[in-house]
Chains A and B, each alone.
Chain A
């Protein structure tokens, strides 16, 4: 007969995973610091921090949920701190949010956090309309389905390197900014396919462990997270920008996961300094 077994990551794996996590975070910071030190102009930001509030609609199809799709609204807060020079942009972003989900009347919840996304963009032309470059991101998705999967927590974590492209254009005198980004490679973590039916470990401490458990390296063959954002300014000189974003996340090994998030964003730009 079997003694109870908690689903907990192997301590040895956890230790290694934490090393990987730390390595990724350090790598992100390292890239950021190198870039900042290389370009003195970055020390004088042309813009300061931006705040963003999004109303989103998330759909998630988790293979462990037997084919059910959970959908629901959510709210998200984001923060961006960009620096610009004549031909470079570096941008730090962070975000967190929550979605209330339902599938066949079954309630669920999804927490989402991006503690760091650091983007480094080259300006392809003098007018800076086209910008492209790499980014690094750490992202957590943590979901609970208490009425369908009592006792289990679900997550998708990735620490990734990706590429981003920005393009500015005008349509009927309205300025638009199109942003397209996609992860290329990195480490990801998902729940195991099989878990103990009778015993579970829900709790903040366990969740932190889970989110960083069994991190595996992969590229588009394993997972991808991509986003298309279209931002526009309805009135000239307004401090408010609007954006529509469609975000996709897919994990292709078992247990498979597909997430689609559509969001309307309100972006509050910093006050412009009056030039005397």
Chain B
């Protein structure tokens, strides 16, 4: 045996012994029975809520078995305002641990804005930003044509690109978040093109704050969160005191579902109208058709009109799907910091929601 043989045997042995194994991405599936937490949710069973238990079980089993959903953290099903099924794929602690829901924050911003309009703090969606932020327009007069409606439908035309511009805020590279956003160039003429971005909702937050005298999160607590029992959350403000209107909420799947349940029940909570009905209609209406594939965009709320789905959608794979005709809600959350190519795909969650819907009689 020559020396090369010795060396190759040695190297092979070492290489073979030196492989790290991946960890377990999902726990073994043990069922979907919800646990009472005293958090305001009524627990029920599939049978009591006219859901095919076997079909629902198969949906959960498929999700657990599907390697493509390795990043998924939770899947919850609600019907008739009751929690019917929940499963935490990675860690039971995710039931109560707050995590970033990213752009699901935008839909909350949309709701609170409507309440501010209903309470008379804001005249309406046709209000120009100059009405509420006149001091900024002194410095950025080219933005005076932007209205609240433009901001609510992502059509301000501002050159705020989510790949880069949010990092200026997330890295805290500016002292004045509103000045920074309004100081950006116009990428498009105002009101001409839907351009999904985090700048427009942040301006909405500033408008609500200026109009009501409270930061968006504080005003939202008073007019929405306290009324629907949404308590286990945080909502981050920028250091200039403006609540981040585009992202910034950290909460649990069950808590996020309280927002969805209120919207699913036509803006009511325990019989009381929390979201003004006229705003509820306006907010959910398709203002931008086919904003993403077959999904339309309302005032920050997404919808698939052909399938009667309305949904919240956050970066990384945070979703709340509502189907009013079946009084059905599906909540799914995923690892929060994962970029789009590796996040829980929109198509996958739509498929899962459809399968749950098929189980609902």
Contacts and interface: CB of A to CB of B under 8 A. Distances in A.
A200 interface: yes
A172 B171 contact: no
Contacts of B14: 244, 246, 262
B10 A151 contact: no
Given A1-B217, A59-B20, A198 B342 contact: no
A151 B19 CA distance: 28
A120 B70 CA distance: 48
B335 interface: yes
Contacts of B238: 4
22 contacts: A1-B217, A1-B218, A1-B237, A2-B234, A2-B236, A3-B237, A6-B172, A59-B19, A66-B71, A68-B23, A69-B22, A106-B342, A148-B337, A151-B167, A197-B99, A197-B250, A199-B170, A199-B171, A202-B171, A230-B10, A244-B11, A260-B19
B48 interface: no
A61 B20 contact: yes
Interface in B308-336: 335-336
A136 B20 CA distance: 28
Contacts of B243: 1
B302 interface: no
Interface string B27-44: 000000000000000000
B144 to A, nearest CB: 30
A174 interface: yes
B152 to A, nearest CB: 22
A69 B172 contact: no
Given A59-B20, A260-B20, A147 B338 contact: yes
Given A1-B215, A67-B23, A197-B99, 10 more contacts: A67-B22, A104-B70, A104-B342, A147-B339, A147-B342, A149-B337, A172-B6, A234-B3, A258-B20, A262-B15
A47 B322 CA distance: 75
A200 to B, nearest CB: 6
B342 A4 contact: no
B18 A151 contact: no
Contact of A246 (B18, B237, B244, B338): B18
A244 B1 contact: no
Contacts of B239: 3-4
A171 B18 contact: no
Contacts of B3: 171-174, 232, 234
A201 interface: yes
Interface residues of A, number: 42
B335 A200 contact: no
Contacts of A2: 234-237
B18 A262 contact: yes
Nearest to B220: A1
Interface residues of B, number: 47
A66 B218 contact: no
A256 to B, nearest CB: 10
Nearest to A150: B337
A260 B339 CA distance: 26
A69 B3 CA distance: 34
A80 to B, nearest CB: 22
Contacts of A246: 14, 18
Contacts of A3: 236-237, 239
A202 B339 CA distance: 17
B135 interface: no
Contacts of A270: none
B24 interface: yes
A11 interface: no
Interface in A123-147: 146-147
Contact of A150 (B11, B244, B339): B339
B6 A198 contact: no
B90 interface: yes
Contacts of B215: 1
B298 to A, nearest CB: 25
A198 B244 contact: yes
A105 interface: yes
Interface in A20-70: 59-61, 66-69
Nearest to B73: A66
A152 B22 contact: no
Contacts of A173: 3
Q: Which 5 residue pairs are nearest across A and B when measured between Cβ atoms?
A: A67-B23, A197-B100, A172-B3, A174-B3, A147-B339
A146 B23 contact: no
A180 to B, nearest CB: 13
Interface string A170-199: 011110000000000000000000000111
Given A198-B236, A199-B172, A172 B337 contact: no
Nearest to A71: B20
Contacts of A197: 99-100, 250, 336-337
B237 A68 contact: no
Interface string B235-267: 111110001100110100000000000000000
Nearest to B170: A199
Contact of B337 (A104, A152, A201, A234): A152
A227 B110 CA distance: 57
B306 interface: no
B284 to A, nearest CB: 27
